[in-house]
Structure 1
Amino acid sequence: MDEYAWPIGPEVPAAASVRESWEATVAALPVEARITGEVIGRQPFGVFIRIDGVPNAIALAEITAMPRGMDLPALGALVSGEVLWHAAHNHQVKLRLDEWRTNDQ
């Protein structure tokens, strides 16, 4: 298996569902909300996460929020974190993972 993978499979919500549910997603996941979920995709720029309890949401934890020297979580890893902001142009919830927090944050 390649180190990187786009989110695919039955656990990934359809793009139309993500778009149609965007307002509800933002309301359910305000900035600073705590989340848990599963890594469903990995790319050099970050990981895509299916958020528990919000089936039509896709989150992205970008490497810009990851401390130097850390690795991206593996596909299938269960993670937790905090909502940083909402990217309306591509309907993504942006996250910082708990494992990426440093003592000065």
Structure 2
Amino acid sequence: MRAAEGKRLLMARYVTIAKFCELTGFTPAAVYTRKCKGIWPEGSVWKYEPGTKKILMDIEAYDEWVEKGQGSQSFPTPAMKSPSPTKASASGNASKRSPVLPTLES
């Protein structure tokens, strides 16, 4: 048995988000993002503490989620939008991506 497994046996199954982040390396923002986007629906990796609205993370369910390969899911990246040339010229702001070429004096 590895040392990490030995420590794991003494840990509670449900932990707070702060403890979950400490154990897994997730940030609280990442946990809330997965919760709100439905990647971790209620009852799968998290649930409310009975009688309160405090969120508890299920360490065993999280381990199963990772082992099933669902931990490699990535979020869709929004498409990058470049400024429209007509909008940039209309507002009087030149694009900062285009270098200004020096003028040659003769």
Aligning the two structures, in what range does the TM-score lie when normalised by the shorter sequence? under 0.3
Highest relative contact order (Cα 8 Å, sep 6+), 1 or 2? 1
Query: Per residue, is there more strand in 1 or in 2?
Result: 1
Structure number with greater Rg is 2
